[in-house]
Amino acid sequence: MTDRQQHDGLLPFGVVLVAGPSMRPTLRDGDRVLVRYGAAPRPGRVALFEHPRHAGLLVLKRAVERRPEGWWMLSDNPFVETDSRQYGAVPEELILGQVLCRLGWPRRQPAAAA
């Protein structure tokens, strides 16, 4: 799941804050990604879309393949099945854009155990 940080409709790019574990290890909770709005998904790339069953909820998942009813989207985290296995293919009109990159480098280091 995601929280859109900015997108004023004037530029085709925006920053989205990642929330939740579904795209681990690729993306982690708190990461920010650069999205190109209006870009069609490509197999193997991460896409931003509106959840097909929860209007207004933005989701990041990996586009696997185009099917007649839409895009098959999967989590990178094998323990999270809230993806097309649960809600089916995502209709084309719900796809908002494609993730270009994760912002910030290097990755945050895990907190040391006390």
- pTM, entire model: 0.83
User: If we measure between CA atoms, which residue out of 104, 60, 105 comes closest to residue 83?
Assistant: 60
pLDDT (average), residues 91-110:
84
Q: Report the mean per-residue pLDDT for the chain.
A: 88
Q: Using a pLDDT cut of 70, give the percent of the chain over it.
A: 82
* Architecture category of domain 2-103 in CATH: Ribbon (2.10)
Cβ(80)–Cβ(1) below 8 Å: no
Q: Which residue has the higher pLDDT, 111 or 88?
A: 88
pLDDT digits (tens, 9 = 90+) for 24-75: 999 999 999 999 999 999 999 999 999 999 999 999 999 999 999 999 999 9
How many other C-beta atoms can be found within 10 angstroms of the C-beta atom of residue 14? 19
Calpha distance 31→23 (Å, rounded): 11
User: If we measure between CA atoms, which residue out of 72, 71, 70, 74 comes closest to residue 60?
Assistant: 74
Q: Which residues contact 84 (CB under 8 A, 6 or more apart)?
A: 61, 64, 71, 72, 73, 74, 90
- pLDDT of 105 higher than 80: no
